[in-house]
Structures are given as C-alpha cells and as structure tokens.
Amino acid sequence: MPSLPRNEGLFSSPEKRNFVLALLLIVATLALYNSVTHHPFVNFDDDRYVTDNAHVRAGLHWSTVTWAFTTFDEANWHPLTWLSHALDCQFFGMNPMGHHYTSALLHALNAVLLFWLLWRATGSTGCSLMVAALFALHPINVESVAWVAERKSVLSMLFLLLAMWAYGWYAQRPALGRYAVVAALFACGLMAKPMVITLPFVLLLWDYWPLQRIGGAEKSAEQSQTPQVTQKTFSWLVIEKAPLLVLSAVSAVVTVKAQRAGDAIGSMAQYPVHIRLENAIASYLRYIGKAVWPSNLSPMYPLVQGSLTVRLVMAAALVILAISGVVLASRRRSLMVGWLWFLGTLVPMIGLVQVGNQAMADRYAYLPFVGLFIVACWGAADLAKQYRIPTAGLAAVGAVVLLALAMVAHKQIGYWSDNIALWSRAAQVTKSFIAEDNLGGALLEQGRQEEAMPHFEAAAAIDPTDPMSRLNLAAYAHRKGHPREAIEQYNQVVSTTRDPRLRATAFSDMGYAYREIGDSVHAKASFQAAVTLRPRTLRAWLGLGLVAEKSGDYTEAVNAYSQVVGIQPWDLGYYLLSRALQRAGHPQEAEAAMQQARQLSENFDQLQQAADSLSK
C-alpha cells in the first residue's frame, strides 16, 4: 500500500495530531463512565431535580422555561440546569440511562475543551493532554458525573471553558462583539451553577499566564506558535473585567437570595466565624490530600463542630503557606497560576458562607482541581527538563498515574451502581446522618422496613434535630399501631425544619394519625397546613376529603377529591369523587367520575374495598 504524502498524513500537523488525541480522550472518558448508564437515579436530590419534579418531567415546554427562570426551588437559581433536565425528560422520559449518558458526554466534552484550550494557549501538547486526562479520569470527579442532580457542575464547567476559549479569541483582537460572546457564555455558566462566579479572577490569571497580556516575560519556544496578543497594564485588565464582575455580583446576590429562600444558609449561631475559618483552612489541605490520594470518597463529609483541633488547623495553614512560598520562589508563571486557580476558585465553596452541613464535597473540586493539575503537569515538565529526564520516561510515569486513577475511579463509579451500595459506603467512611437516612430510605424502597429502622435510629442519634430520620421513625410507629407516639415525632419534624416538603409530609401524615385516634379537628388542621405549604400534596387533599365526607360536608369533600384527581388521575380518587358527588346531589357528574374510575381500575372490586376501608 503506498504511503500517504507527508502533507496529508494523520499526524502531519499539530492540529491533526491533537484532533486524534482529543478523540482518544473522549473514548477513554466514555469507556470509564460507560457503566453509569446502567445505574438508577440516586434517592437523594435526583427525586427533587427529576423524578418527582412535575415541571421537569413535563419536558421542554414554554411553561417549563417560565418556571425555570422564576423558581428558587432547591435553594438555587439555575434555569439552564432545570432546562437541561427537562430536555432529558423530553427525550428519555424516566429512563435513567439517557440522563446519565448526557452527564458522561458533557464531562468528556469538558475534558476535550480543556485540552484544546490549554494547548492553544500554551503550545504544550503533552502538559495540556495530561491536565485534561487527569480531569477526565480523576476519581474526585465521579460524583459530578455519576449523580444526575449534579448536572449543574458539568454544565456550568462547559460554559466556563467556552467563555475562556472566547476570551482567548477576544484577546487576539479586542472588539465589543467578541467581548459580548465572553459575557454571554459566562452568564450561561452562572445560570447553570454559580460555582463559576470566579471567572473574572480566572481570566486575570489567564492574562498573566499563558496569554501573557500582563507585561514582561518572553514566550517560550512552545508558545511561539500560539496566537499573539497585545500586552496591557494590570489596572487596564482589571477595568476590562468590570462587566464580568458585575455579572458575578448579580449572581452572588441572586444566589444568596435563593439560598435564604430555601433556608440553606447556616446561621452564625449554628456555624460561628471561627468554625468556618478553621474548616476552610483544614478543607484546603483535605482537598489536596484527595487530589494526591483519592481514598474514602463520599457524597457527604459532615461538618462536626469540635472535630478540628488547633494543632490540625495550624498544621494545615503551615502546609498551605509552605506550598505558596515554594510556588512563589519558583517564579514559574504556570505554577503560580495553577496554585492561585485552585485557591481562588474554591473560595465560593470553601464554607465561609456555610450552605448545608457539609465540611467539603467532592463535587466542589470539579473546577478548582484544574489548577492543581496544571501545577502537577507543568511542575513535572520543569523538573524533567531540569534533570534531563527523557520524554518517554515522563510519559510512562504519566501513563501509570492515569491508569491507577482510572482503576480507583472505576471502583468509585461502582459504588453509585445502586443506592444501598452508595450509602453503605458513605456511612462506612463518614459519620453522616444523611448517609444513614438515605441508606434507610433505599432499604424502605425495597420493602426491607425492619432493616431500615436501625439506620434512621442511627441518624437520629448522630443529629437529634434531623427531620428525615424523625419522619421515618414516626411513620414506622404509625404503621405499628402507635399513632400518639407518631404524632409526637411528627411535631418534632415540624418544629425542627423549614423545608416545605418535609413539613408538608409531616403535617399530612400527622393528619392521618389524628384521624386514626378520632380527632377530626386536628386532622383537618394538619391536612390544611400541608396543602398550604405545598398545594399539590395529594395525600393531604385525600385526607381533607375523607374528613369532610365523614362529617357530612359533601361539597367540601367534592372539592378535595377534585384536587386529588387534578394532581394525578387515580382510580381511587375518581371513585371517592363519584361517591361524594352522588351524596351531594350531582348524579350526572357522579356517573362521569365513576366511569373514569372504572377505566383506570384494574380490579374494581378491590377498588371498592379500598374506598370502604379508607372511609371507616
């Protein structure tokens, strides 16, 4: 077979060579994450973001768009994330395979964009590829990819990388139109997840290296082929970022408002300033540890007050200062930029504004770890050059590192294969009431009630104010025939949480407990409180209908049962509505509702028995 002309070969130019490398990067990333397409939805947040979210499940419609841009659900304002989930529902319905594959594909795309961005800016194929490969295969990023509810991380990263690419394009020939593209992509990133709020800071670092828009240094030999830019003063470059800083400020205000609306921000009484500072310092060191040795990874690392000793915090501070000193002394722009990227982009998630009760989270490392990977790769290249280590030797070491990380990541992905495995692992490596709650919930979903209860008891023992464990313990007491004990537990849930979902569920279940002991007044009040909090609480409307029917108020019963079938077409709901309409003197409407009940019911005799049992 004749050989290809030299100028037509597959590796005849850096662009062709790097295109092939990008394809290999995509293949490796998707091969690693292929198994997630067989995983179920996680029983923590995936329900609120997808499976139990009526707006998202409806697919991509104008009403969904309007809701996405106006809601603060889940203590966030991230309309593009909501629309991304709705688009998945439009195409894949409730099949988790498609939702998982979208996240894996976005992660692979992010890895390629990172590789291309770094190569175009630095001219170094080897270091750029290694950074992108570390990003693609590092186990710390499994959480952001394998957890459907964390779509916001991979989506916001996509827009950040596109904004950085657009910024390089703008820097070559500054123009208002090009700057507008950068700003638009940044705005999209903020509308996916506000973790990208530090982009103006990142771009200033990017000006310093590798773009070298801030005076001074000559370009390296590798950078001789990279696009030329005009150097500016530092003050000019800061002023240039003003519109982007305005976007960051607006996003910060909206984010705080959303988190306050969702009661997600911890108070100063709960998390004093010194606790936050100590945790922030210690967490920086822990993140570095996870980067170097990614073991005992978990969706939850609880913030336990009193767990940080002065000695540990001081040691962490000294290590951070020592690394900073070494980086500064090296006078290597790549190392300084990478290190400051890590320190700076982690600030919004480090806990100075405490959101939730976690000390740290793997998902928070998705953007900041790029900085550490830059430090590692360009630092290793500098050492190899200094000590004349052959390129082949350096490549071999890199391959071993990537293989080891991929093996650990594969094992970590396996923990996400089902909810019991995930939360069993989390409970094993952390003392977390959330892990115990979710493990108990996963067991309940499989009908293993007696196995689940010890985990809810363990969660309540770890945190006596935890509403989820109390809610499940109350439900268990109720099922076991102890309604008064259940009512006490339900009242504890109501008094210890401001989460409208949990409060509505507690009020609704408490209404049935009151009804069981014959207290119709408190039962009705409880059901009414539930629908006031969440108007689409089906069980509470059903309870209001049963209470009204029992008292002879059939008009109110008709209204309540109409709400039930409006929320969900249901054979039992239509049957009860038909009976209430008949007793209220509306025979034609009653017959129509009964026809609906017959059409929806698979066993009409059992349906009648269920209705009679409920009405007792």
Condensed to tens digits (0 to 9), the pLDDT of residues 465-489 reads 899 999 999 999 999 999 999 999 9
Average pLDDT value for the chain: 93
Model confidence at 307: pLDDT above 80: no
Which class for 182: exposed (0-12), middle (13-18), buried (19 or more C-beta within 10 A)?
Answer: buried
Q: Which helix (H) or strand (E) holds 301?
A: strand 301-302
pLDDT, residue 285, reads 96
pLDDT, residue 2, reads 47
Q: Which helix (H) or strand (E) holds 358?
A: strand 358-360
For residues 245-263, give the mean pLDDT: 91
As a whole number of angstroms, the distance between CA 458 and CA 479 comes to: 20
pLDDT, residue 225, reads 58
- Nearest CA among 582, 511, 584 for reference residue 597: 582
Q: Which helix (H) or strand (E) holds 426?
A: helix 419-429
- Taking only the tens place, the pLDDT of each residue in 578-611 is 999 999 999 999 999 999 999 999 898 999 998 8
As a whole number of angstroms, the distance between CA 468 and CA 458 comes to: 12
Predicted TM-score (pTM) of this structure: 0.91
As a whole number of angstroms, the distance between CA 173 and CA 158 comes to: 23
Radius of gyration over alpha carbons of the chain, in Å?
Answer: 28
- Taking only the tens place, the pLDDT of each residue in 85-139 is 999 999 999 999 999 999 999 999 999 999 999 999 999 999 999 999 999 999 9
Torsion of CA 41, 47, 53, 57, to 10 degrees: 10
pLDDT, residue 86, reads 97
Question: Is residue 25 within 8 Å of 134, Cβ to Cβ?
Answer: no
For residues 510-517, give the mean pLDDT: 96
328-348 burial code (b ≥16 CB/10 A, e <16) = eeeebbbbbbbbbbbbbbbeb
Question: Is residue 71 within 8 Å of 191, Cβ to Cβ?
Answer: no
As a whole number of angstroms, the distance between CA 427 and CA 476 comes to: 22
pLDDT, residue 224, reads 54
Strand partners, 302: 358
Instruction: Please count the residues of the chain.
Output: 616
Model confidence at 1: pLDDT above 50: no
pLDDT, residue 8, reads 57
- Give 465's contacts (C-beta < 8 A, 6+ positions apart): 496
Model confidence at 439: pLDDT above 90: yes
Place of tokens 């499989």: 446
pLDDT, residue 128, reads 98
pLDDT, residue 152, reads 98
pLDDT, residue 580, reads 94
Share of the chain above pLDDT 90, in %: 83
- Taking only the tens place, the pLDDT of each residue in 7-52 is 556 566 888 899 999 999 999 999 999 999 999 999 999 999 999 9
Q: Which domains does the chain have, with CATH numbers?
A: 13-415 (no CATH), 420-614 (1.25.40.10)
Among the ranges given (153-157, 226-230, 334-338), the one the predictor scored with the smallest mean pLDDT: 226-230
pLDDT, residue 267, reads 60
